[in-house]
Amino acid sequence: MGTLYEALQLILQVVWFVMIVHIIMSWLINFQVLNLRQPLVASIWDGLSRLLEPIYRPIRNILPNTGGLDLAPLVLFVIIIILQRALANNAGFFYGM
C-alpha cells in the first residue's frame, strides 16, 4: 500500500509541475516572449493544453465568468494542496500503522 501512497503523491506533484509550466508559458506567450508560430513552442503549448483542459473544464463550469481572468488553475492548486495534505495525514493507512 505504500507504493500506492507514493504513486498518488507523484501524480499530484507531476500535475503541479505541468500546471506551473503551462502558466509560465501562457505568460510568456501573452507578453510575446514566445511565439506560437514556432513549431516547438506550438507543439508544447498544444500538448500542455490538451493535458490540462479536461481538468480545467469542470472547474470553469462551476466558477462564475470573470472575463479575461481564469481562476481554474488557482482552484486546482488549492485542490491539489488539499489532496496532498489529506494523503499525508492518512499515510498511516497506506503503511499499515
CA neighbor of 80 nearest in space, from 16, 3, 5: 16
Cell of 56: 480545467
pTM: 0.87
Q: Where are the alpha helices (DSSP H) in the chain?
A: 2-30, 39-62, 72-89, 91-95
Domain count, the chain: 1
Domain that holds residue 66: 2-95
Q: How many residues does the chain have?
A: 97
Cell of 58: 469542470
Per-residue pLDDT of the chain (97 residues; tens, 9 = 90+): 778 889 999 999 999 999 999 999 999 999 999 999 999 999 999 999 999 999 999 999 999 988 888 999 999 999 999 999 999 998 888 777 6
